Structure 1
Amino acid sequence: MERFNSNHSDKKYLQDRYKWIQFFIERFDPLSHLIMISLFIAGHMSLVDKGVSSDALLLFIGTTVFFFKLRCFDEVKDLDLDMKINPSRPLPRELLSVFDMKDAIILCFIFENIIFYTIDLDAGIAMSIASLYSLIMYKEFFLGSWFRDKLTSYASAHTLVTILLSLSIFCAIDGRALYALDISMYFFSVVSWLLFNIFELGRKTFLESEERDQVESYSKVWGKGGAVVLVLVHACIAEVILALGVGLSSSFAKIYFNSCFVVFVLSGIYFLIKKSGRSGSFFRGYSSFYIILIYLGVIIEKLL
């Protein structure tokens, strides 16, 4: 008989922990998320102009925990569809269970709030509001499948949590309450929401030849042209707010951000005139990369 404290139980324990490592690799790629979250936080820090504080590591960990929680939300909410069209994903193939996800979600709720309250009381209060909104978001705003079927509105309501997360970060960096921040910080939080909307809209926009049965897409809802216009309008509004609301209007900012937008427009045109090939991959890739380009531009602008 195997003893509870035997080497066998140790091996089983390590195997169970490895499942989470495998989940991270597959569904929360460490490298891409490390880059995105680092630039996300650095963009906020560059606007506050208070230098790198001793709380920067805590801020990075808390923000990472928050984003990981959102990933766990999606794994649970998408499970029924993934069972049909993505059976190789971790939950459908039973690498982890729904209850494992829910345990992780609870731990994330606890740790993200502990971390932000450790940094500052006002930051903790702001994070509690963001956490509460994310929970309501997870519960589909208590509207069920009726709201989930409204793809664009549903996505925009979900990405609104980015505004609250962004404001929580500003509270942590600046040391002021949620209602007492500079107006430019509120504008920048709206830009963050628009950028994550672009990421979401762009990654689910396909050529007709790429569309899949049972897989929702914005190109199905708006048509290929409508989806591209929707993405580009978001990008245009984000750049206008950066210039007029956040105050990034130097010569460098104008050249850099306008160049990013022009490339976006060209990628959209390329996507529209092609019926097959790499245009879809390029447009979706640039939609994902655009968020990195914008935060990087904000950082460089403030360093110059």
Structure 2
Amino acid sequence: MATVTGGNRWWVYQRERFPLLAHGPLILAFSFSAASYSALARGAAPPPLAAVAVAFATSLLFFLQLRIADEFKDAEEDARYRPYRPVPRGLVTLAELRRIGVAGAVLQLVLAFALDPRLMPLLAVVWVYFGLMSREFFVREWLKARPFTYLWTHMLVMPLIDFYATACDWLVAGAGAPPRGLGWFVAASFFNGIVIELGRKIRAPEDEEEGVETYTVVWGRAKAVGAWVLALSATLACAAGAAAVIGVTLWVSAVLALILLAALALAMRFLAGPRRGMGRRFETASGVWTLALYLGLGVLPLLLP
């Protein structure tokens, strides 16, 4: 096997652990929609490019930092059960990843200061929660024994990141408080985070790996798939509430309802007879759902008359 050196190491790392071609469009939709929805809810013009750029770059770095934190949290299990991953096989080191995470935080701080220094306290709130998550809230074993609690406590970072991205609009624009309806929007982000997390950890029996605690292993196939469908439904309900504030309830609800029906069909096929590789369809469906959610709330209203 050829040795991977220099900058190629990082290309391979991002391809395997943080694929920009897959994550980039989703994070762009996520961050643009946050800033755009905030402006729409305020009855203002679309947010300036600078606000969108800072929201996107900061969100991208947040999600990269979450991936890096996972490398640290899973280091022992990866070395034992998943030696093919970049860190245990020696492609990159934890020390190198730590430096990248810190550099990302410095860049986030610079961007916040450049756009509006009032963003810095909100940035600090996300950092504090991120730090607690990285330490598993200092109760790692207790959380690991309670998968549902582990799930929702870690997904709370999603609305925090989303709220920060919205602040790149409303706070910078001088609004005294978040606009009406923002609670529905960040709640949709919370449940959508659960959709993504569940979707990437639903697998057919043939695809399960030793030492990998997927939700189909921890909860069983029926409960894991049922939880995914329930999270989709909760996201739809919150998205409808957010859409009502900006006058696009019918459009958003109709599009998401159609995708939900397709998701239900996938769920029933999987429960009736899971086949090798079929679990990946849940991850793909979660990505399509995410794009539809954020494009529907942040982009579609800009295109409608």
- Do both proteins adopt the same fold according to a TM-score greater than 0.5, normalized to the shorter chain? yes
Structure 1 counterpart of 2:32, one-letter code: A
Would you say 1:203 and 2:200 are equivalent positions? Answer: yes
| Worse overlay, 289-298 or 70-79 | 289-298
Would you say 1:42 and 2:32 are equivalent positions? Answer: yes
Structure 2 counterpart of 1:303, one-letter code: L
Which residue of structure 2 lines up, in the alignment, with residue 51 of structure 1?
46
Which residue of structure 1 lines up, in the alignment, with residue 188 of structure 2?
191
Structure 1 counterpart of 2:149, one-letter code: S
Q: SS of 2:124's equivalent?
A: helix
Structure 2 counterpart of 1:285, one-letter code: T
Kept in 2: contact 1:38–1:60 (CA 8 A): yes
1:73-88 alignment, distance < 5 Å: 73-88=69-84
Unaligned runs of 5+ in 1: 1-13
Kept in 2: contact 1:187–1:241 (CA 8 A): yes
Which residue of structure 2 lines up, in the alignment, with residue 168 of structure 1?
164
Q: Distance in 1 between matches of 2:236 and 2:302?
A: 16
Compute the displacement of 1:66 (Å).
Answer: 1.3
Q: SS of 1:253's equivalent?
A: helix
Which residue of structure 2 lines up, in the alignment, with residue 221 of structure 1?
218
Q: Distance in 2 between matches of 1:123 and 1:28?
A: 26
1:4-153 alignment, distance < 5 Å: 15-47=5-37, 48-49=39-40, 50-55=45-50, 56-153=52-149
Structure 2 counterpart of 1:82, one-letter code: D
Q: SS of 1:181's equivalent?
A: coil
Compute the displacement of 1:257 (Å).
Answer: 1.6
Q: Distance in 2 between matches of 1:130 and 1:256?
A: 31
Q: Distance in 2 between matches of 1:249 and 1:243?
A: 8
Kept in 2: contact 1:114–1:124 (CA 8 A): no
| Worse overlay, 176-185 or 48-57 | 176-185
Which residue of structure 1 lines up, in the alignment, with residue 270 of structure 2?
271
What number of residue pairs does the alignment pair up?
291
Relative distance call for 1:178 and 1:126 in structure 2 (3 A) is farther
Superposed CA deviations along residues 219-272 of structure 1, whole A, max 9, x for unmatched, are: 122211111111111111111111124426543223212111111111111111
Relative distance call for 1:179 and 1:97 in structure 2 (3 A) is farther
Which residue of structure 2 lines up, in the alignment, with residue 10 of structure 1?
none
Which residue of structure 2 lines up, in the alignment, with residue 254 of structure 1?
253
Kept in 2: contact 1:113–1:128 (CA 8 A): no
Which residue of structure 2 lines up, in the alignment, with residue 11 of structure 1?
none
Structure 1 counterpart of 2:46, one-letter code: G
Unaligned runs of 5+ in 2: none
Superposed CA deviations along residues 28-83 of structure 1, whole A, max 9, x for unmatched, are: 11211221111111211331233241412233222211111111111111111111
Q: SS of 1:88's equivalent?
A: coil
Structure 2 counterpart of 1:94, one-letter code: G
Kept in 2: contact 1:194–1:238 (CA 8 A): yes
Across the aligned residues of Structure 1 and Structure 2, the Cα RMSD in angstroms comes to 2.2
Relative distance call for 1:116 and 1:178 in structure 2 (3 A) is farther
TM-score by length of 2: 0.87
Q: SS of 2:181's equivalent?
A: helix
Higher relative contact order (CA 8 A, sep 6+): 2
Q: Distance in 2 between matches of 1:233 and 1:150?
A: 19
Compute the displacement of 1:291 (Å).
Answer: 1.3
Which residue of structure 2 lines up, in the alignment, with residue 300 of structure 1?
300
Compute the displacement of 1:115 (Å).
Answer: 1.3
Q: Distance in 1 between matches of 2:114 and 2:224?
A: 42
Relative distance call for 1:277 and 1:26 in structure 2 (3 A) is closer
Relative distance call for 1:64 and 1:189 in structure 2 (3 A) is same
Q: Distance in 2 between matches of 1:29 and 1:207?
A: 23
Question: Which residue, out of 120, 132, 154, partners 2:150?
Answer: 154
Q: SS of 1:180's equivalent?
A: coil
Structure 1 counterpart of 2:300, one-letter code: I
TM-score by length of 1: 0.88
Q: Distance in 2 between matches of 1:216 and 1:158?
A: 16
